Amino acid sequence: MAQIIDGKALSAQVLQQVASDVALLKDEHGIVPTLAVVLVGEDPASQVYVRNKIKRAREVGIGSKEYLLDANTTQNELAQLIDALNDDAQVHGILVQLPLPDQLDEDAVIASIHPDKDVDGFHPLNVGALAAGRDTLVPCTPQGCMIMLHQAHPDLSGKHAVVVGRSNIVGKPMAMLLLQANCTVTIVHSRTRDIESLCRHADIVIAAAGRRELIDADWIKPGATVIDVGINAIEIEGKRKLVGDVAFEAVSQVAGAISPVPGGVGPMTIACLLLNTTRAVTRQLS
C-alpha cells in the first residue's frame, strides 16, 4: 500500500509559515498583505474556489477584496478594474478566476495584471522568467505539487517525471519546475502515442489531464510517486463526490506514494496562492 501524501497536513505547515510571514510584514513594515479576487459570472465551481481562497486568506491574516462581476462584463470594464487594482498600493496580489466568459480575452486580461501582483504566475513575463530558471511568482498548483513531491523524494535529481497534460496552468509550468529540480521530464497529452508505456517508465507521474480516473494501476511502475491534480465531480447514488485523474484505489496498490483527491493538491494550491501573496509584497518592497 502506497504512502499517502497528505495535502491537508502539508498545507497546514505552509499556511503556518505564511501566517508568520504576514505577522512579520505587519510588525516591520506596517503592511497587511492584501489579495484582490475577481470572479466574472456565476460558474458554481469557480464560486466555491473563490470562497475557499478568501476564507483561507482571512485565516492567515491576509486581507482580501472580492469583486463579483456580472457574466456580461465587457473587456473594457474588466480592464478598468484591473488598472485600478494595479494602481492601488493597498492591493498586493490580483487573481482573476479562470475560465472567463467567452466574450472576454483571457490572454489580454492576464497580460494586463502587473507582473509583481500576478499571484497566479500566469503573466507572460513571469512565465518567461520561470522558463529561464529565474526567481519569480510561480503558478500555485505546480508549486504545491513540488512541495508534495519533496515529501516523497528529498532529492529529485535524475528522476524521470512524466507530466500528463499540457495546460498553461499546470502541465507546462510543472514541467519547468521539475526540470529546475534536475528531473528528466516528459510531457504527454491527448495526442501522445502510447501514453501508458511512457507513464510506466516514470519514477514520478503528475496527473493533470482533466479526465476522471484516466490513470489506472497498469500505467504505474511499482513504487512510483503519483500526484493527482484532477478534480472531477461525479454523482454516486445521488451523492456528489470528487475524484481525481487517477484511479486511487487501484493505483495505491502499486505506487510507492500517492496524493488523494480530495485532500491532496487542492489545499496545497490555496496555500501556495497565499505564499505568493506574501512574496508579491516582498517584490513590491524591493
* Binding status of residue 213 toward ligand GUN by CB under 6 A: no
Interior angle at CA 119, CA 114 and CA 122, nearest 5: 75
Cβ atoms of residues 199 and 162 within 8 Å: yes
Number of residues lying near ligand GUN (CB under 6 A)? 8
Kindly tell me which residue out of 32, 54, 79, 98 binds ligand GUN, with binding defined by CB under 6 A.
98
Give the nearer residue to ligand GUN in terms of CB position, either 60 or 96: 96
- Cell 462581476 belongs to 69
Kindly tell me which residue out of 120, 203, 213, 228 binds ligand GUN, with binding defined by CB under 6 A.
120
Which amino acid is located at 248 in the chain? F
* Binding status of residue 242 toward ligand GUN by CB under 6 A: no
105 given a catalytic annotation: no
83 given a catalytic annotation: no
Q: How far apart are CA 33 and CA 24, in angstroms?
A: 11
Q: Which residues of 165-176 are buried (b: 16+ CB within 10 A; e: fewer)?
A: bbbebbbbbbbb
Give the nearer residue to ligand GUN in terms of CB position, either 57 or 140: 140
Give the nearer residue to ligand GUN in terms of CB position, either 96 or 247: 96
53 given a catalytic annotation: yes
Please report the sign of the dihedral spanned by the C-alpha atoms of residue 237, residue 99, residue 94, residue 187: positive
Indicate which residue of 21, 53, 228, 245 is catalytic.
53
Whole-number minimum distance, CB 36 to ligand GUN, in Å? 12
Kindly tell me which residue out of 14, 140, 227, 255 binds ligand GUN, with binding defined by CB under 6 A.
140
Residue 205's nearest CA partner among 264, 259, 154, 168 is: 259
Q: How far apart are CA 111 and CA 119, in angstroms?
A: 13
Q: Binding site annotation covers 165? A: yes
Q: Binding site annotation covers 166? A: yes
Return the active site residues.
Answer: 53, 97, 120
The annotation places the binding site at 165-167, 231
Binding site for ligand GUN (CB under 6 A): 95-98, 120, 140-141, 169
